[in-house]
Structure 1
């Protein structure tokens, strides 16, 4: 197998289309999640970099692909009986694609909408190539409005936190990067991509991170998408749950701490963390966190 053109470039990972070598056919693509066996994904040797790169705050994606680079039209990648595939490759030894793939396959086994994974090593993953725009691209095309976007994000968070825990009974799988550029609006429904930040913990942290990501854009007066982010945040927070799965005080505080400590964010982005938290509290109203 060989890699084709670059489909997307994030701050720590690149995504390439895959092609069969001459004489090969699609069924020779890697078959099944081979992470545990350490199978090398095609494409040769070799993000947990935070969500900001997916909010459009830098020129990190190309060609109308989704935030994971795994969207596109047609089956021009590594094709087989199951469709087209792309290669995601971390740069500079970053990331843990095996752990990321295992989380994706776990939530997918419980019906959660994620791309299929064919194989993974520590630095590479072969995954399903999706068709359709990201939610952020759908905004630009007028295909979705902030109210619907916020409602969709809320449903995806609710559904994820309903997946049975993997280890600790009080914890749930958390995406910790769920926002409009990490949701691909595929023909068969929204698909959640980019799971490199995923871990297990209290659902309130997931709500806090998603809210903080949107709020950082919303409070940036120089960002032309600020009003869209603001209205999406309003819709998201209007549908947050009550009780231990809610946007908690601890979850919001930890989300702020993580965003401020994220080494991939610019100084300007870090400056927006405080105002973003204030905006979340204003929108949520008195007693916004449990």
Structure 2
């Protein structure tokens, strides 16, 4: 799990919660409506329309993601994904580190085959700073905690940061995200995360080197990071750069 997957301190769901709270991120909550549907709701009233547009666009290209059933204002009703996350499967020893890295690389490759919708624009109320655009759809938060292992295969969830961009930036952000866990010397999963980063960079057909500085800048400005967590981002970028250099020498 990375910092963006947990609710802010002292956070409690609203009194008008539509169902059981499944998970909370830095800006949104996900509730179970029933066995088939979930509601993703932005707490500060952010307009979900740009996220909905990208989700519907990638689904029209058969990318494995939730279907949007209904949307309006800060709310998105989507199909419910059943199964453990890739992160949970790793922690339970049900998935090997190399296999997890290949799942991440495969999802990137499939997503980057989806062309950017020409009419899509970056929302003005986006939490993260934005870095240009690009020719394809990018997720910018593709890590093991956002991959659900369903009976139909891995599904990618949490499209709050999705945008148009380059494959290099998307791959770089994933590498930095996982490397943040690797450089946390006090973390329980630092060694495993280091192995996943190395395997992911090896499995990816895209070298993120040219976008690495942008990925570090993007992650450094991510909402919800505590000061100690933010300090890990440059170290994570340096680790990814070192791993890429070692890979290129082979």
Residues 172 and 208 in structure 2, CA contact (< 8 A), matched pair in contact too: yes
Is the alpha carbon distance of 1:105 and 1:8 closer, same or farther for their aligned partners in structure 2, counting shifts above 3 Å?
same
Q: After TM superposition, where is structure 1 displaced by more than 3 Å over at least 4 residues in a row?
A: none
| Pairing 1:259–2:219 present | yes
**Separation in structure 2 between the aligned mates of residue 280 and residue 144 of structure 1, nearest angstrom:** 23
Q: Give the match for residue 9 of structure 1.
A: 24
2:109 aligned residue (158, 161, 181): 158
Task: Give the match's secondary structure for 1:268.
Answer: helix
| Pairing 1:191–2:152 present | no
Residues 161 and 174 in structure 1, CA contact (< 8 A), matched pair in contact too: yes
Residues 9 and 15 in structure 1, CA contact (< 8 A), matched pair in contact too: yes
Q: Give the match for residue 181 of structure 2.
A: 217
| Pairing 1:89–2:41 present | yes
TM-score between both structures, scaled by the size of structure 2 = 0.83
Greater gyration radius:
1
* Residue correspondence of structure 1 range 100-111 to structure 2 within 5 A: 100-111=51-62
* Residue correspondence of structure 1 range 1-290 to structure 2 within 5 A: 3-18=18-33, 77=34, 84-94=36-46, 96-167=47-118, 171-242=135-206, 246-249=207-210, 251-285=211-245
Post-superposition CA distance 1:145-166 (Å, at most 9, x none): 1111111100110111111332
What is the root-mean-square deviation of aligned Cα atoms in Å? 1.9
TM-score between both structures, scaled by the size of structure 1 = 0.72
**Separation in structure 2 between the aligned mates of residue 165 and residue 99 of structure 1, nearest angstrom:** 13
Task: Give the match's secondary structure for 2:102.
Answer: helix
Structure 2: runs of 5 or more not aligned: 1-16, 120-132
